[in-house]
Amino acid sequence: MRAPHQACRARGFTLIEAILVIVIIGIIGAIVAVFIRAPVQGYVDTRVRAAATDEADLALRRIARDLRLALPNSVRVNKDGSAVEFLLTRAGGRYLTLDDDVEDFPVLDFDEPGKVSFTAVGGTRPRIEAGDFIVVYNLGNPEDSESDAYRYVPLGTGINIARVASVDRSSENNPIVTLQNNPFATQATPMRSPSNRFQVVTGPVTYACETRPDGGRELVRYWGYAISPTQQAAPENAQRAVIAARVADCEHVFRYGSEALRRSALVVLNLALFAGNGKGDDALVRLASQVHVDNTP
């Protein structure tokens, strides 16, 4: 017989026991993964959509901010709605006229081309700078070059836009603006503003949806190029910045109100972005916005 206090021989796991444990752990892991996968995937998808939504929203806000500063009657959209162009204003004010009967200050003359200086009544904020454009009573009628600022030609005649040569701020509240020439006095029909208003334009701006060499699409902002009577989706010699990548469709991104409603028109923005890396099988995020454009010249 074995002694009462004799030590028992130590035993390990058998191969069958080890296999059973591995199988059980695998089953438990699979069950846990099934329940965890859906919330994790939902979280990832939400983050991706949120990033695409923020990108689209930021782009639309940027476009809307510029459109609200557009020169009246200068917004134009190309045929397929992939690009919008407008003349960006920086300030505005009222010009002095003969009817104001103020001595020692020049007026904006609509009769004598040699008089190229005028007084900006009350000044402007921000201030007028050399190189800016002065526009008076822009109707945006492409059939009438005298009321369409896009017809600008340096030292041209018979148009409603002129470039600023210098500004005399001896009187800060009533600066005297000197133009490179006075095209207002060479118009066949003087296009005086009924309220003696003028706008200060820095130049044209274009937002265009373009296709990259790799087949992807992006929304681009162009600025710093010459004013042209014909619209170009990709203006030459312009500064360029991408404001939205992963664009899904370039057609009908921009729509402009009908001619009957141009005095109080709407620019409709419709931007769709891929939520992923820009492939066709990614989910889409689509944002739409309407921007009111005041076309009262």
| 69 CB burial (10 A radius; 0-12, 13-18, 19+) | middle
Residues sharing a CB contact under 8 Å with residue 256, sequence separation 6 or more, in sequence order: 75, 76, 77, 84, 265, 266, 267, 268
Residues sharing a CB contact under 8 Å with residue 177, sequence separation 6 or more, in sequence order: 117, 118, 119, 120, 128, 134, 164, 166, 167, 168
The candidate with the shortest Cα–Cα distance to 115, out of 214, 182, 166, is 182
In this prediction, residue 8 carries a pLDDT of: 55
Structure-block tokens of residue 133: 């454009």
In this prediction, residue 59 carries a pLDDT of: 96
Structure-block tokens of residue 273: 């972005």
Whole-angstrom distance, CA of residue 284 vs CA of residue 294? 32
Whole-angstrom distance, CA of residue 250 vs CA of residue 240? 18
- Asked which of 21-30, 52-61, 89-98, 209-218 is least confident by mean pLDDT, the reply is 21-30
Cα 235 from chain centroid (whole Å)? 15
Determine the 3-state secondary structure of 125 from DSSP: coil
Determine the 3-state secondary structure of 98 from DSSP: helix
Averaged pLDDT of the chain: 89
Considering only the C-alpha atoms of the chain, give the largest distance between any 2 of them, rounded to a whole number of Å: 136
Q: Is the pLDDT of residue 11 over 70?
A: no
Q: Read off the amino acid at residue 87.
A: L
Q: Look-up: residue for tokens 């309407």?
A: 290
pTM of the model: 0.84
| 149-206 confidence digits (pLDDT tens) | 999 999 999 999 999 999 999 987 899 999 999 999 999 989 999 999 999 999 999 9
Q: What number is the average pLDDT over the span 64-83?
A: 95
- Asked which of 30-44, 115-129, 195-209 is least confident by mean pLDDT, the reply is 30-44
| 229-284 confidence digits (pLDDT tens) | 999 989 999 999 999 999 999 999 999 975 555 677 899 999 999 987 655 556 88
Phi, psi of 201 (to 5 degrees): -110, 135
In this prediction, residue 279 carries a pLDDT of: 57
